[in-house]
Structure 1
Amino acid sequence: MPLFLRPFLLAAGLLAAAAAGAQNSPAPAPTEEPVVVPQVQRRDVKLPRLPSRDFEVGAFAGSYSVQGFEAVAVAGLRAGYHITEDFFVEAAVGRAKVNDETFRKIFAGTVLASDRLSYYNVSLGYNVMPGEVFFGRTVAKASAVYLIGGVGSTQFNDRRHQTLNFGAGIRLFLRDWAAVQVDMRDHIFSDDLLGARRRNNNLEFTGGLTFFF
Structure 2
Amino acid sequence: MEAWIQRIFLIAALSPLSLLAQTPSAPLITPDITREQIDEDVLDSENWLLGVRGGVLSIEDFGSSGLLAAQLSYQINESFYLSAEYAMAKAGRTSFEDLSGAAPLLTDSEREWRYYGAHIGYTLLPGEVFFGRDYAMNSGLSLFVGGGNVDFAGDNVFALHFGSQFRLYTTDWLAVELTFSDYVFETTILARNKTTHNLALALGVALYF
Partner of 2:87 in structure 1?
94
CA distance in 2, matches of 1:50, 1:145: 16
**Does residue 199 of structure 1 match 2:195?**
yes
Secondary structure of the 1:128 match is strand
- Offset, 1:170: 0.7
Identity score, percent: 29
Q: TM-score, normalised by structure 1?
A: 0.80
Q: 8 Å contact 1:46–1:139 — kept in the other structure?
A: no
| Aligned partner of 2:164 among 163, 168, 173 | 168
Q: 8 Å contact 2:43–2:173 — kept in the other structure?
A: no
Per-residue CA deviation, residues 107-126 of structure 1 (Å, 9 max, x unaligned), is 40211132211111100000
Q: Return 30-39 or 101-110, whichever deviates more.
A: 30-39
Partner of 2:14 in structure 1?
none
**Does residue 155 of structure 1 match 2:164?**
no
Query: Please, which runs of 5 or more residues in structure 1 have no aligned partner?
Result: 1-29
- Offset, 1:41: 3.9
**Does residue 134 of structure 1 match 2:134?**
no
CA RMSD of aligned residues (A): 1.8
Partner of 1:38 in structure 2?
31
Secondary structure of the 1:106 match is helix
| Aligned partner of 2:173 among 168, 171, 177 | 177
Partner of 1:58 in structure 2?
51
CA distance in 1, matches of 2:96, 2:43: 48
Q: 8 Å contact 2:65–2:89 — kept in the other structure?
A: yes
Q: Return 100-109 or 181-190, whichever deviates more.
A: 100-109
Q: 8 Å contact 1:56–1:211 — kept in the other structure?
A: yes
Partner of 1:9 in structure 2?
none
| Aligned partner of 2:76 among 61, 83, 87 | 83
Q: 8 Å contact 1:45–1:137 — kept in the other structure?
A: no
Secondary structure of the 2:51 match is strand
- Offset, 1:32: 7.9
Per-residue CA deviation, residues 144-178 of structure 1 (Å, 9 max, x unaligned), is 10000101011111211111101111111111111
Secondary structure of the 1:175 match is coil
CA distance in 1, matches of 2:27, 2:76: 58
CA distance in 1, matches of 2:144, 2:26: 63
Q: 8 Å contact 1:48–1:140 — kept in the other structure?
A: no
Q: For residue 126 of structure 1, what is the amino acid of its counterpart?
A: Y
Q: Of the two, which has the highest radius of gyration?
A: 1
Q: TM-score, normalised by structure 2?
A: 0.82
Q: 8 Å contact 1:67–1:201 — kept in the other structure?
A: yes
| Aligned partner of 2:105 among 106, 111, 122 | 111
Q: 8 Å contact 2:127–2:138 — kept in the other structure?
A: yes
Query: Please, which runs of 5 or more residues in structure 2 have no aligned partner?
Result: 1-22
Per-residue CA deviation, residues 2-24 of structure 1 (Å, 9 max, x unaligned), is xxxxxxxxxxxxxxxxxxxxxxx
Number of matched residues?
184
Over 6 Å off, 4+ runs: none
- Offset, 1:127: 0.4
| Aligned partner of 1:72 among 40, 50, 65 | 65
- Offset, 1:53: 1.5
